[in-house]
Amino acid sequence: MSDNVLEKEISVSDVILEVKRIRNDFPILSERFSSETGTVKSLVYFDNAATTQKPRAVLDALQNYYQHQNANVHRAIHKLGERATFAYENSRKKVAQFINSRSTREIVFTRGTTEAINLVAHSWGRKFIKPGDEILLSEMEHHSNLIPWQLLAKDRGALLRFIPFSKSNGTLQMANLNHFITEKTRLISVTHMSNVFGTINPVRGLIQKAHERGIPVLLDAAQAVPHLPTDVQELDCDFLAFSGHKMCGPTGIGVLYAKEKFLEDMDPYQGGGEMISSVWLDKATWNELPHKFEAGTPNIAGAIGLGAAVDYLSDIGMEKITLYEQKLTTYALSRMQEITEMKIFGLAPFRGGVISFYMGKIHPHDMAQYLDSEGIAVRAGHHCAQPVMRKLGILATTRASFYFYNTYEEIDFFIEIVKKAREFFGYGTQ
């Protein structure tokens, strides 16, 4: 598969018809809000890059666990404990299949993408990064894929280097990649899909080039796994991190995928119950993978809910989701071009459903608040990417981000309200 996961020819007629049914699976999408004028508005949820809504299948799985399976896992021999353990580990199997991991031993449950990256920085980085070594990132990273490496570099005396992005279209400048990958590079950690620009980065080529030099690669896939078919064996990445709440699952649950050979060489991230094999007063040995990295009572309900979310997405089909979102985003971009005062950041040829924009004298927070008054939920701010904003010469953007339950009609309403905001804040009519 090429880096453009959107090249496959898939008919979207069935997907478009399914959206009406799909929306009925999400109770919150039926919420109504009263605007400042007293008009009752339907919720238009365009903040999916931050977190996604949950279908009944996930909500039911959470309720079922607490009503019928609630017990600690891996510890009890009573039937309730066995039932909880089976459900928890079955979710791990579902996740492994969803991203095509070789084994469940390569799937570590975490609190989210942030903890997964921190786990690698702590357990792998502090063991293998030496003074003078280099870690290669990109300039478009979320803080979660920047701060852990800053801390590691400071602790180990290493150097961070960055692949720059183009201000004109929000793509990584990969032409001079050999300039950034040096004999001192020990790890490359980049975002698969930008949470600011929506850019889908050409990670397959980057991974191949890194592996030719024996350099492992971590992918921040928080924005990619929920929206793109993901095959870790085909990607051949060494580490991959993502979050459940961005893919219809609960908050507080995430995944670190890592090749087994790396996990075997890594020391535990935290100490406590479950991650041990044997303990003496002065020493301990570690549990088998992946439990070696899951100290204490885990987020059992969250993992089970994530398994339900994986089932739900798989039943729809990730390739269908990808193509539908691509067409939805293309439509949104075409409609947004009607607004001459609007500047869109990120015009990559291969992109996901994230659109960051700026409306001149309308502060992004004011735009978001105006949209909220009409029932449209978007994000405004620096999106945990302050270096990106600094390079763009701005403090914040307004960001609309889509998922497979959004519709063309919602985009039309969004454009209508943005135009009203333009008039409200003094731009007048075109």
Average of pLDDT values for 2-20? 54
pLDDT at 17: 47
Helix or strand run (H / E) with residue 60: helix 56-64
Decide if pLDDT at 11 tops 80: no
Please say if 248 is a catalytic residue: no
pLDDT at 37: 65
Better-scored residue on pLDDT, 75 or 344? 344
**Quick one: what percent of the chain has pLDDT higher than 70?**
94
Compute the distance between CA of residue 221 and CA of residue 276 in angstroms, rounded to an integer. 29
- Decide if domain 58-314 falls under CATH 3.40.640.10: yes
Fold equal for 13-46+317-424 and 58-314: no
Q: Could you tell me if 348 and 171 are in contact, meaning their C-beta atoms sit under 8 angstroms apart?
A: yes
Q: Of the residues 384, 394, 395, 415, which is catalytic? A: 384
Tokens read off for 140: 């478009």
pLDDT at 35: 67
Backbone φ, ψ for residue 407 (5° rounding): -130, 165
- Decide if domain 13-46+317-424 falls under CATH 1.20.810.10: no
Residue ranges per domain, the chain? 13-46+317-424, 58-314
Compute the distance between CA of residue 284 and CA of residue 286 in angstroms, rounded to an integer. 7
What are the tens digits of pLDDT across the range 241-282?
999 999 999 999 999 999 999 999 999 999 999 999 999 999
Indicate the Cα dihedral angle 413, 417, 420, 426, nearest 10°: -150
For β-strands 185-191 and 217-220, DSSP reports them as parallel
What are the tens digits of pLDDT across the range 374-407?
999 999 999 999 999 999 999 999 999 999 999 9
Sheet holding 254-258, edge to edge: 107-110, 254-258, 239-243, 217-220, 185-191, 134-138, 159-163
What are the tens digits of pLDDT across the range 195-244?
999 999 999 999 999 999 999 999 999 999 999 999 999 999 999 999 99
Average of pLDDT values for 112-116? 98
pLDDT at 18: 85
pLDDT at 176: 85
Backbone φ, ψ for residue 127 (5° rounding): -95, -35
pLDDT at 288: 96
What are the tens digits of pLDDT across the range 170-205?
999 998 898 999 999 999 999 999 999 999 999 999
**Nearest to residue 378, comparing CAs of 386, 387, 369?**
369
Decide if pLDDT at 8 tops 50: no
